[in-house]
Amino acid sequence: MSFHVTSELVRIEVDNNGTWLCCSARAEDGEMIPNRFRLDDGIGNSDGFFSREESEFTLSAKHIELEHRPDGPWLCADLPMRDGGYRQRQGINLALHIRNENGQLCFILSGTQRVKDELAPYRNAITAEYLGRRDDDVHIVLVIYCWLRPEVLQHGSHFETTFQPGKTIGQRYDVIVNATASPGNYWMRAIPCSENANEHNIRGIIRYDSSSTDDPESTAWDQTVSVCEDENFSSLVPYLSLDAGEEDYRVLLNVMLKTNPFRWYINDTTMAVEWDNLTLKQIYLNQTDWESSEAVYELTTANEWVYVIVHSSAHPIHLHGHGFYVLASGNGNYSDSRPLQTRNLPRRDVALLPANGHLVIAFKADNPGAWLMHCHIGWHTGQGFSIQIVERAAELRNLIDYDALNQTCANWDAFTAKTGLDDPTVHSGV
C-alpha cells in the first residue's frame, strides 16, 4: 500500500547528496522502522516537469518542499526547463509513487510493485476502443496537454477496480496502476466500439516478472461496447483549473461525403495539397494566394479565442499545434441557444464528433504556425478530411528555417521519385 497511511513523522531533508524522504514506517509486526529514502533515485526533472522516467531532480530544483495534502504528501519544487525558464511550480504526489514494504520504503516500479503505461496514439490510430484492466486500482494522471487530479475510475457494477476509459482514436492517457493484485501475468484488453472481426482478441500482456513466458489466466468481463464516445469529463478533472475565453472568431465546418470519386468535403472543399509547394514555403516567400484545395483558414490576430464548430457523422477530430477545450458535443447541428461549458475543462488534441452531431472546441491563437486539423482515421484524412489553420503568418515567416525546409523538400523529392507516392488523385498529401 502507499506508504503515507502507515507512516509517521513524514518529512523531507535536502543535502548535497539529494532529497531524502524521512519517516517511521510500520512493519507487518507493528514495529515502526525509521526510513531515510533517497527520492532522487527515482524522480527527475524532464523539461520542467517531475518525471519518474528520470532521476536526480535535486541537481536542478529550487525551493524544494513537502506539502501535506488530503490525498497524500506532495513533493513540490521549481524546476527549470531546457531553455532555462521555469514553468509554474511543480508537484508530484509521493503517495502514488512510493509504498511501504514491511517497514521499508520503495518506489512503485515497473515489475512487482508498479505498472505505468502510456496508452499512446500509435496503439489506436485507426480504431476507437475501451481499455480494460482488472484487479488493480488505476489512476488516470494525464490526458495529453493536461495533468489531472488522480482518481480511481469506477464504472458501474462491472468490477470494483476495473479501469475502462473510453479512448477515442488518437487519444492518449498516462495511467498509474497501483498493483495490489497477486504478482503474475495479466491481460490488458482493448474493446472496440465499432465493427471489428477480432474484437475479443485485442490484448497485451502485463508481466510482473519480465522473465516469464506464461500466458495470463485472467478472464474478461462480460462487456459489449456499441457506442463510440469520449470519456465523461466528470472523470477528467484538471489539476490546474483553466477556463476558455469568450469567442473572438468562429470557424464553422460542415462535413459531407461524396462518391465517384470517394472524397470527404469540408465546406465544399476536399483537401489536396500541392506536394511540391509546401504551406510554410509559400508563407516564407509571401506567396499566400491560397488555392481552394489547400483548405486554408487564416488567423491573423494574436491571442484571440477561436471557436470551431464541426457538423458531421462520427469522427475523431485532431488539431495540431494546440490543446483545445471541448465546449459542447451532441446530436444534430449546433445552435447558439445551447449553453457552452467553458469552466475547468480538460485540454486535449483529439475529441470525438458524435454521429450525425456537432462538436464545439475552443483554443487560443497563441502559437504561430501552419496547423492541420483533420479526422484521425488515416484514410479519411487521405481522402480530403482536413483543413489547414494558418496562424499569424506575418510572425511565422520570421521563424522559418528556409535552408532546413528546402533540404526536407529535397529529401522528399528523392523519396517520391523512387516510390511514386506524390499522386494527388490518390492521396491528399497529408
Domain 249-419 sits in CATH at: 2.60.40.420
Three-state secondary structure call for residue 391:
strand
Q: What is the mean pLDDT of residues 388-401?
A: 95
How confident is the model at residue 167, as a pLDDT?
56
114-235: CATH topology? Immunoglobulin-like (2.60.40)
pLDDT at 306 over 60: yes
Confidence of residue 55 (pLDDT cuts 50, 70, 90): confident
Mean pLDDT score across all residues of the chain: 80
How confident is the model at residue 241, as a pLDDT?
79
Higher pLDDT, 298 or 123: 298
C-alpha cell at 418: 523512387
Enclosing H/E stretch for 359: strand 357-364
210 exposed, middle or buried (CB, 10 Å; 0-12, 13-18, 19+)? exposed
Q: 3-class secondary structure for 53-120?
A: CCCEHHHCCEEEEEEEECCEEEEEEECECCCCCECCCEEEEHHHCEEEECCEEEECCECCCEEEEEEC
- pLDDT tens for 263-277 read 999 999 999 887 778
3-107: CATH topology? HIV-inactivating Protein, Cyanovirin-n (2.30.60)
- The per-type count for the chain, helices as H runs and strands as E runs, is 4, 29
Q: Is the pTM higher than 0.75?
A: no
Q: What is the mean pLDDT of residues 352-357?
A: 88
Confidence of residue 226 (pLDDT cuts 50, 70, 90): low
Mean pLDDT check: name the lowest of 40-44, 128-132, 278-282, 334-338: 128-132
Confidence of residue 259 (pLDDT cuts 50, 70, 90): confident
- pLDDT tens for 115-137 read 333 333 333 444 444 444 444 44
pLDDT at 156 over 80: no
410 torsion bin: left (phi>0), alpha (psi -120 to 50), beta (else): alpha
Q: Do domains 3-107 and 249-419 have the same CATH topology?
A: no
What single string gives the DSSP state of each residue in 185-249?
EEEEEEEESS--TTTT--EEEEESSTT--PPP-----S-------PPPGGG--BSS---PPPPSE
Q: What is the mean pLDDT of residues 187-200?
A: 73
What are the structural domain ranges in the chain? 3-107, 114-235, 249-419
Give dist(CA 53, CA 276) in Å, integer.
40
How confident is the model at residue 424, as a pLDDT?
58
pLDDT at 6 over 70: yes
Mean pLDDT check: name the lowest of 37-46, 180-189, 403-412: 180-189
